[in-house]
Amino acid sequence: MHRTAIAHISGPDRPGVLAALMDVLGRQGADVLDVEQITIRGRLLLSVALRIPDAQDPFKELLYYGWEHGLQVDFQLVDDGGDVTLVGGQRHAITLLGAELGPAAFGAAAGAVAACGANIDRITCLAHYPVEAYELIVSSTDIAPIRAGLVAASRTHRFDVAVQREGLGRRALRLVALDVDSTLIQDEVIELLADACGCREEVAAVTARAMAGELDFEESLRARVALLAGLDAGVIEEARARLRLTPGARTFVRTLQRLGFRTMIVSGGFTPFTDHLRNELGIDHAYANELEILDGRLTGRVVGPVVDRRRKAAILREVAAAEGIDLAQTVAVGDGANDLEMLAAAGLGIAFNAKPVVQDAADTSVSVPYLDAILFVLGIRRGDVVAADLAEPTGN
């Protein structure tokens, strides 16, 4: 016969603590069923699930070891029904992002989980810069009401929340597709071109309506491009020199590349800009519309099929197939209605500083102004990003 217990050990961390504790348990004939340990600023928090023969009593030995080394040791006898783990049930990863995640925000998120009778198994700090980010691993049989509660809390306390199924699938993501205008870059390239003919405000108004889903994208694009007819092709280079990357864009792409992701940009803009960005950032694939140029001047027309919402989704599928990557292993990031089908087709669709129609449709939404914050949604820690940069300086 045996008993089952969970030992909780806390106190100052030092090398050899776990080895010594396991030695004590081994000498008492205990079986280790599960272990979880974290260290916060030099403080150890360790839990060990044990199966103990009735004839043995490791508790006294563990208490004595703890007393000798300044560790607090507590025990909890459990009825395991033949098995025990420290965590259980269907698990989801909940990512919280915000400029500041204070007690009110954290409390609201935890309350949304608790209100559904779910349990938070683990909390991990992912970043304090450029935003605060935490990952909560939650066990629950029904994530839908938890998601709804978290979304309501996020709106009240102004933080972003992403809910994903925890497991191998989340760690198998391999291709990231990015929109360009107002996502990878801060600008709308057609508005930069429109500056040259004095019609930026008119073009910007049409762009805003198209991105909000109020206008057909292809019709609106052709109408906007028609306003550029007669411009010297040199305006393309002038506009390209004015491109502004979104803060964190270089870090985001560089980190994905180091992790072995394939990257692509797919844009309703134009190839001279996407080709430039592909070369500058080392992106694997780039797709956009082609402006027609005759005798050194823009004709006001595009060549070939327009990269609209359907074409964006089709390109994602084509690239994934060519790379041998399942669509479930893809991530798509965008901000406008033209991205909706691409976000829906991807395994994970992320609305980045997006229009309301896109926020409502995407799997998750990120509203902070830093593109590299998306790394935290993927479970990547800021410390790992910095460590990689220090190990491999790039100057970016």
Q: Measure the CA dihedral 128/131/137/140, to 10°.
A: 150
- For every residue of 22-33, DSSP letters joined together read HHHHHHTTPEEE
Tens digit of each residue's pLDDT, the chain (396 residues): 678 888 889 999 888 888 888 888 888 788 888 888 888 888 888 888 888 887 666 678 888 888 888 999 888 887 755 444 444 458 899 999 999 898 999 999 999 999 998 888 888 889 999 999 999 999 888 899 999 999 999 999 999 999 998 877 777 789 999 999 999 999 999 999 988 888 888 888 888 888 888 888 898 899 999 989 999 999 999 999 999 999 999 999 999 999 899 999 999 999 999 999 999 999 999 999 999 999 999 999 999 999 999 999 999 999 999 999 999 999 999 999 999 999 999 999 999 999 999 998 999 999 999 999 999 999 999 998 988 888 775 545
* 18 DSSP assignment: H
Catalytic residue among 13, 181, 335, 363: 181
Catalytic residue among 13, 179, 308, 363: 179
Query: What is the Cα–Cα distance from 108 to 203, expressed in whole angstroms?
Result: 42
Residue 230 near residue 298, CB atoms below 8 Å? yes
Q: Catalytic site residue 363?
A: no
Query: What is the Cα–Cα distance from 200 to 224, expressed in whole angstroms?
Result: 10
pLDDT value at position 88?
A: 47
Residue 264 near residue 175, CB atoms below 8 Å? yes
Based on its alpha-carbon atoms, the radius of gyration of the chain, rounded to whole angstroms, reads: 26
Residue 337 near residue 368, CB atoms below 8 Å? no
Nearest to 101 by CA among 39, 151, 162, 160: 160
Nearest to 335 by CA among 150, 208, 242: 208
Other Cβ atoms within 10 Å of 243 Cβ, number: 18
Which residues are CB-contacts of 306 (< 8 A; sequence separation ≥ 6)? 217, 218, 221, 222, 268, 289
| Domains delineated in the chain | 2-78 (3.30.70.260), 91-168 (3.30.70.260), 175-362 (3.40.50.1000)
pLDDT value at position 154?
A: 94
Per the rule left: phi > 0, alpha: psi between -120 and 50, beta: everything else, 51 is beta
Q: Catalytic site residue 181?
A: yes
